[in-house]
Structure formats: C-alpha cells, structure tokens
Amino acid sequence: MATPSKTPPGADPKQLERTGTVREIGSQAVWSLSSCKPEAVGINSSLMCLPSTCPGFGVDQLRDDNLETYWQSDGSQPHLVNIQFRRRTTVKMLCIYADYKSDESYTPSKISVRVGNNFHNLQEIRQLEMVEPSGWIHISLMNPRTNEPISTFMIQIAVLANHQNGRDTHMRQIKVYTPVEESSIGKFPRCTTVDFMMYRTIR
C-alpha cells in the first residue's frame, strides 16, 4: 500500500467567518470532556470532568483561540468531547486543529463524530482518518442526502485512535460552525454585491 498522503490543512476558520457564510456557535454550547490531565497534582480525573477541575489542559484550553494550549486527555480510549446546545441547532461543520509535528503520538488519527439528543441516542454520522495533519481539519456535517446541515442538540467528538498508537490525545482547538442565513427577507440565498446588500436592511 502506498504511503497515505498527509491530510492537507484546511483554510483558517477565521477567514471563513469573514465571508459571513458561517458563524461560530461554540459559545452557545456546554462543553465537557471525558477526561483531562490535571494541572500539577495527580487527581484522578473522573468521567465527565468539568473544566473547573482541570486547569491547564481542559476545556478552556480547547476553546481559548490559542493554538499553543491544548486539551490532554487522561483516560482510556475513546476520548470524548461533548458539545451540548440549549436548543436544537443547525451545525454545518466542525474545525479541529491538529498538528502532528508538535503532538506526534498525541495527534488523533481516527475521529468519529456522533450526534443525537442526549448521551444515550448518539449516532455516528462521520468518521474520518487523518494522516499527519498539520493545521485545521474541516469536518463537514452536512447530510449527504439532503445536502442540508444537520440539526441537533448534541455533538460528540470521539477520538478513537492516535498516531503511533498513543493512548492519550492532544486537541488544540475545536470550532463549531452554523450556517448564516444572510438574506434578511425572503427565503433566498445570500446576495453577493454591496449594491444589493446596502438595501437589504435598515440599521
């Protein structure tokens, strides 16, 4: 088998945001992890540990817009990141930042994305393999049949395997995007020219 080609990095999500087609909604959700490495003292991290108990390598680091800090898991596989929304939300894509050069054996290689209403009825909708990623990985969560973004209460990202069969994983940043309905009136796709957009709304 030929050497699998490295997963190319995707575009910086910030650029995507600027186009106005997507909006980051991670702030509207409650994040939790299956485990995370505690700061200094060796506290046995339990399942569903909350960020407050894990300074240094927890959810905060996963959501702090800083690619230097990361979440480090501390348990058995699969490592889980749970994203729970207050209400049913359409999600278009996920962006995960992974860097093989800095994380090596901690870099996730197989990721499964599951959605559902709660912990008990999650269904896997995407599974992807990454080979030595070195940047942003875009995971599109569009329903392949209807080509619509999925609408869900909860998303679970499961790290099933790491590079070099590492046990724990590092995840530097995760972003969740919802599509933006640009058109303020009418069920039309967004307009592209400034001339049109000027008249779209009264501000």
CB neighbour list of residue 20: distance below 8 Å, 6 or more residues apart = 180, 182, 190
Contacts 24+ apart (CB under 8 A), 57-65: 58/33, 59/31, 59/32, 59/33, 62/31, 62/33, 62/171, 62/172, 62/173, 62/174, 63/26, 63/31, 63/173, 63/174, 64/173, 65/173
Q: In the complex, what is the shortest distance from the CB of residue 25 to other proteins, in angstroms, rounded to a whole number?
A: 8
Contact pick of 12, 66, 118, 196 for other proteins (by CB under 8 A): 196
Burial 133-156 (b: 16+ CB within 10 A, else e): bbbbbbbebbeeeeeebbebbbbb
Contact pick of 147, 154, 171, 174 for other proteins (by CB under 8 A): 147
Q: In the complex, what is the shortest distance from the CB of residue 196 to other proteins, in angstroms, rounded to a whole number?
A: 5
Determine, following the binding rule CB under 8 A, whether residue 143 of this chain makes contact with other proteins. no
Determine, following the binding rule CB under 8 A, whether residue 138 of this chain makes contact with other proteins. no
Q: Is residue 30 within 8 Å of residue 63, measured between CB atoms?
A: no
Stretch that binds other proteins, among 57-65, 113-121, 124-132, 179-187 (CB under 8 A): 179-187
Q: For other proteins, give the closer residue by CB, 17 or 104.
A: 17
> In the chain, which ranges are continuous DSSP H helix?
13-19, 59-62, 100-103, 194-198
Q: In the complex, what is the shortest distance from the CB of residue 182 to other proteins, in angstroms, rounded to a whole number?
A: 8
Determine, following the binding rule CB under 8 A, whether residue 86 of this chain makes contact with other proteins. no
Token pair of 6 as six digits = 């490295």
Per-residue string for binding with other proteins, 6-45, x by CB under 8 A? Answer: -----------xxxxx-x---x------------------
Determine, following the binding rule CB under 8 A, whether residue 185 of this chain makes contact with other proteins. yes
Determine, following the binding rule CB under 8 A, whether residue 186 of this chain makes contact with other proteins. yes
Which stretches of the chain bind other proteins, using CB under 8 A?
A: 17-21, 23, 27, 147-148, 184-186, 188-203
